[in-house]
Amino acid sequence: MQHSAPQAPQGDGLKEAISSLKNSSLGYLQSKSELAAIEAKEAAEHAKKKISLGAVTAFFAIFTYALFLILAHSVLLKFTAPYLEKIGKVIPLDNHQIILLMFFLFHLLLLFIYLCKLGKKPQVELFALTKSEIQKDKQWLKEMNNNAK
Q: What is the reported pLDDT for 149?
A: 63
Residue 19 has pLDDT above 60, yes or no: yes
Of 124 and 136, the structure prediction assigns the larger pLDDT to: 136
73 touches 100 (CB < 8 A): yes
Of 95 and 148, the structure prediction assigns the larger pLDDT to: 95
In three state form, how does the secondary structure of 15-77 look? HHHHHHHHHHHHHHHHHHHHHHHHHHHHHHHHHHHHHHHHHHHHHHHHHHHHHHHHHHHHHHH
Binned at pLDDT 50, 70 and 90, residue 8 comes out as very low
Residues 24-38 have a mean pLDDT of 79
How many of the other CB atoms lie within 10 Å of CB of 102? 15
Q: 22-36, 37-51, 96-110: which range is least confident on average?
A: 22-36
Helices 10-79 and 81-90: angle between axes, nearest 10 degrees: 100
Q: State the average pLDDT for the chain.
A: 83
